[in-house]
Structure 1
Amino acid sequence: MAKRSVKIDTKELEAAVEEVVGRMGVIERFGKAADHIEGLADIETDRFGIAVATHDGGMVMGGDAETPFPIQSISKVFALTLALRAFGDDVWKRVGREPSGDPFNSIVDLERHKGKPRNPFINPGAIVVVDMLLDIAAKDETHKTVRDFLAAEIGEEIKVDRTIFDKESSGGFNNRAMANMCKFFGNLNHEVDAVMKPYVSQCAIALTCRQLALAGRYLMDGGEKPLEDESVRARRVNSLMLTCGQYDGSGDFAFRVGLPAKSGVGGGILAIAPGLASIAVWSPGLDENGNSLLGTLALEQLAERMGWSVFG
């Protein structure tokens, strides 16, 4: 996945985004909103937004690009970034790097592997990563939470959807079961309740497509003036997004879209065209794997139109 940095034709990109938005507006099959999280099930599934932040500082938007939505599992990308900055390759002693082959909230695979999650983008993996973040509290000049990190990357105040936070805080029994399984096998250093609060909080962060695209810029090129280690981290996070970022639909997504990406059951997807653009789409109707149906279609069409697949 070599880094590319070429001049983007702004008018071509604007035309491509306009075309994608138009196509999404005539599709009649929207998917189904997430029904396992209260507060998401009643959202209108025909909503669609897109924002593209380019490597030269441009921004192209369309549809409901300024409508905030809970980022849910997309937060796992930023949590992993913080953990890698603080602990480097020690992260992989506690979390694997392989696709799970099971649903993102499955406890079966976790028991099979004695409390070590298969990757940081399934729920138990993200819970272990949050446990790591609690250990960087004493470090100076280090963002300690995903919310702090996003505020710095975007340059705006970051809000949490209180309805989603309250609902998931009072429930989330399956996630707590997985956290307890990790604790049982010695892969959770803190108490379960201490880990679950920041985990639920980062999932309930509400961003617009514009904000999410801005947040992903560091993965596009490792930063405005990337240091070598930042570029390495960006490449590693991108590789995991490509292989594990779309739950059990990651292989099909790579085949169709060809970009590293991470989805969330709130309907958002963050996709990266290395050296070119950070792309955020949102539509709350999900496919059978829990990925945004219109969002995936939009990214497939945009990547094809712009020639942005990492596979050429």
Structure 2
Amino acid sequence: MSDLGQLIGEVHAELSVRLGEGQVANYIPELAKVPVERFGIAVATVGGEVFTAGDALEPFSIQSISKLFTLTLALGKVGDGLWSRVGREPSGNRFNSIVQLEYEQGRPRNPFVNAGAIAVTDLILAGYRPKEAIGDIVRFVRFLAGDEAIVIDADVARSERDTGFRNFALAQFMRSFNVITHPADEVLGVYFHHCAIAMNCAQLARAALFLAAKGQNPVTGHSVVSAARARRINSLMMMCGHYDGSGDFAFRVGLPGKSGVGGGIVAVVPGVCTVAVWSPGLDANGNSLIGTAALELLAQRANWSVFE
């Protein structure tokens, strides 16, 4: 696998000339401060090796990538009953659209749009105070990554709370349909905090590795989810992991992946590895522009695809 380290180094060098492209998520003030020129790649293999290039060890706000982990946690807590609250279909609309939510009577289209992730957060909050639920989510992410150093960026969480008016509207609308059952400010307090988890590419690649190994962490041997559930989470990432850019990502990259407006993307190569990329400049759909290009090149050159 030493050639894998060489490959990501080559891809990083090749795309570094494009740094500065895209637009940072300036509607969240703290994210607007992140230099657009940052770019990191990390690969974690099922054999336990980790390869990095560029800014792969610099923490960043994982934003909507956290929805992958909260979905996994909620499925462990309530099982397939979750799907009575949240659908499993691609949205075709912006990640924070309220139009589709109204049309479908408060039931979010999937767990990766904002409304769906807020509904998932409501399920995690059941039986907890908000601080306990936040602690549970952080402990779970640390467990997956095998790293106790992972924390929440309090400044980002505060910035999201202060500007998250549309998310408050989504939550209140869903509560009117009993899709969420806790007060909106409590649910969103937990939601904003888990979106503000800060991780680097190496930590993120390790945290998602169970999805490349049939639900088991291949490094520690811990079972995270069943093989069947891992397949279903991967399929949801393939269909819905990049919002209304999910089809284009599947076409170009051919791997399950989840993006965040902090510029991160994590992708799964079943049976082989996970790849995490970070570059804050976003495309029109809110996905990392350089990060997507990097994953496309890696998939082509390593011959990775789930469509073979």
Q: Could you tell me which of 138, 143, 149 is aligned with 2:140?
A: 149
Look up the match of 1:180.
Answer: 172
In the superposition, relative to structure 1, how do residues 31 and 238 fare at CA in structure 2: closer, same or farther (>3 Å)? Answer: same
Look up the match of 2:60.
Answer: 69
Within a 5 Å distance, the mapping from 1:93-108 to structure 2 comes to 93-108=84-99
Residue 196 in structure 1 maps to residue 188 in structure 2: yes
Residue 114 in structure 1 maps to residue 105 in structure 2: yes
Contact 2:60 2:262 in 1 (8 A): yes
C-alpha separation between the residues in 1 aligned to 2:243 and 2:87?
A: 15
Contact 2:261 2:288 in 1 (8 A): yes
Name the count of aligned residue pairs: 300
Within a 5 Å distance, the mapping from 1:233-244 to structure 2 comes to 233-244=229-240
Within a 5 Å distance, the mapping from 1:16-35 to structure 2 comes to 16-27=7-18, 30-35=21-26
In the superposition, relative to structure 1, how do residues 293 and 157 fare at CA in structure 2: closer, same or farther (>3 Å)? Answer: same
C-alpha separation between the residues in 1 aligned to 2:157 and 2:134?
A: 21
Q: Which amino acid aligns with 2:60?
A: F
Q: Provide the aligned C-alpha RMSD in A.
A: 1.7
Look up the match of 1:4.
Answer: none
Contact 2:19 2:290 in 1 (8 A): no
Look up the match of 2:202.
Answer: 210
Within a 5 Å distance, the mapping from 1:151-166 to structure 2 comes to 151-155=142-146, 156-166=148-158
Q: Which amino acid aligns with 1:295?
A: G
Look up the match of 1:285.
Answer: 281
Contact 2:19 2:36 in 1 (8 A): no
Structure 1 residue 230: Cα displacement: 1.6
Structure 1 residue 28: Cα displacement: 5.4
Contact 1:146 1:202 in 2 (8 A): yes
Corresponding residue SS for 1:53: strand
Structure 1 residue 163: Cα displacement: 1.4
Structure 1 residue 175: Cα displacement: 0.1
C-alpha separation between the residues in 1 aligned to 2:14 and 2:238?
A: 25
Look up the match of 1:7.
Answer: none
Within a 5 Å distance, the mapping from 1:120-131 to structure 2 comes to 120-131=111-122
Q: Could you tell me which of 64, 70, 84 is aligned with 1:79?
A: 70
Residue 297 in structure 1 maps to residue 303 in structure 2: no
Look up the match of 1:260.
Answer: 256
TM-score by length of 1: 0.92
TM-score by length of 2: 0.94
Identity, in percent, stands at 51
Contact 1:50 1:281 in 2 (8 A): yes
Structure 1 residue 47: Cα displacement: 1.3
Q: Which amino acid aligns with 1:188?
A: I
> Structure 2 regions of 5+ residues with no counterpart?
none
C-alpha separation between the residues in 2 aligned to 1:209 and 1:82?
A: 21
Structure 1 residue 30: Cα displacement: 1.6
Q: Which amino acid aligns with 1:220?
A: A
Corresponding residue SS for 2:275: strand
Contact 2:115 2:171 in 1 (8 A): yes
C-alpha separation between the residues in 2 aligned to 1:267 and 1:290?
A: 8
Corresponding residue SS for 1:279: strand
Structure 1 residue 232: Cα displacement: 1.4
Structure 1 residue 34: Cα displacement: 0.8
Corresponding residue SS for 1:270: strand
